[in-house]
Amino acid sequence: MTLTFSWRGAFTSAEVSALHAHCFAAPGEADWWARVQAHSLGWVVARDGAALAGFVNVAWDGGEHAFILDTMVAEPHRRTGAGTRLVALAAEEARATGCRWLHVDFEPHLARFYLESCGFTPTPAGVVSLVLP
């Protein structure tokens, strides 16, 4: 299984929605194409032949800060370095466009992936839920 990776690669909203449902156990369709067009510096697509095998979105503030969102890898390609390659290409391309900082938020069980495999440094940060109880 040789994966190909592409910056701003073609995808359909249906295939990213299916991968998202698989990775996050969150069913539902979304217009991913409209999302990335409106809010993203770019995205990285990984393909195994014609099949979508991975995806990561790179949102940004229009200046020096980019943000990794929605890192997804299909089950057969997990623990093969595919996720690390997705994030590395995202970082490379964000740097090439002039971004100085790449941020990522993650759940505790993903710390080893982002901090050790992808090279992020832990920093103090804060978050507030905007969802009312």
Residue-by-residue pLDDT tens, the chain, 133 positions: 689 999 999 999 999 999 999 998 877 788 999 999 999 999 999 999 999 999 999 999 999 999 999 999 999 999 999 999 999 999 999 999 999 999 999 999 999 999 999 999 999 988 898 988 7
- Reported as type and span, the H/E element at residue 87 is helix 82-96
Alpha carbons within 13 angstroms on the beta-carbon side of residue 51 total: 12
Q: For strands 40-48 and 4-7, give the pairing.
A: antiparallel
CATH number of 4-117: 3.40.630.30
Residue 112, both tokens: 């080893």
Cβ atoms of 8 and 43 closer than 8 Å: yes
**DSSP secondary structure code for residue 62 in this structure:** S
Distance CA 71, CA 116 (A): 16
Name residue 67's beta-bridge partners.
59, 103
Contact predicate 37/71, CB 8 Å: no
- Entry pTM: 0.92
